[in-house]
Structure 1
């Protein structure tokens, strides 16, 4: 039986008259969409339009909460009390649920964004707090985790449905966290390189780091960031490379880890 993997993309990140990414093109390629909830990007109209477009293409819908940081696109680290952080996650998941329902769909999964995700990949207690908050309002939600990090460890203690994620357009540190965007080579812009890396990682069942380390992991889904200039080309090449290597594409089921 051919291996199966999901392709996901962060989207719904436009704001008012300001446009970010080509969501329509990405929705024709991916199988799951992580839709911004209005705090790091997006607004009520963008959310509604993106949800409707995802439902029309039968693409799985995910809530993509981030820090309240429109200016920094959710990439600035913030320190918050745990109770406030949990309410921040609940607020955004609730907004996503409402918009998805109005569009005739439903929120299947949760994926943390930007600095919130990076911090949770380093801090198991923080990750668990975020996931507990999401599950408190959406008990059946699938938690998408950055494979091999504190996010995965936190989700494993909750016994909830999980999707383990790797990134097509980001380089890895040896602890399975992402190389900081400020460093050379952190963001991969070459579609051919991104496609080859993903085919290699899925085939090997492992994250291949910038330094050549191999970290064995379950791989359920591959992320393609929607805000990079070559996002659509990378998405198309990753899809082609996977299919050419015998990998089938389908939405993840969310088995516990």
Structure 2
């Protein structure tokens, strides 16, 4: 099982209504001359007729009945955003913090109760600084933090011997189509998105050098390092299916975390005209 951070997109039909969103926000902004700016924003978004699939059925089976496997529901996103910005002088920067909630609700899924959506990152912090060493040369640093994304993890896994022996005489699309007479293992899930990945954070450093201009063509060289302290940020997690299982033993669920990038240096050359 792999928890991929993906979305499902399907067309609107006579049976599937187009999605609708209603957004409300209230903000306050304070400016101190031209140096500092502070902004606070409260927001609430109601989503209607959003869709998901029945988590038991397979929608990718080229069936004309795929519409019956799509379930309509609602979404609720709300929170607060704070921003402090300094935009003049040799040292400039932005500090932002977001407190956010994101919920989804679908009839017949998760006991028809709300569950946190993948966008439900409770705390988000971003700090970006830029220091102008001299005209045409600047140094930059940014640090970002985000709470772990929710994901679904079974509390138990048990073998489906009926499926392995094909007692019913036909394949059931609710399970794996690649049985090969092997035992299929079914997850027991108490609720959706019942666990969270580890927080994501990284520090990035960079420098930008303006190399001058020739005939209205500007030359800019940029170099830096992404994720300086080589944080292993989680992208997805998975666990392996068991090959054999004994009723006399308890098997702990072994998780595997996958990350996209660790420390990554970069350099770029840009022409502007």
**Which structure's residues are more often strand, by fraction?**
2
**TM category, shorter:** under 0.3
Bigger Rg over Cα: 2
Q: TM-score, normalised by structure 2?
A: 0.24
Q: TM-score, normalised by structure 1?
A: 0.25
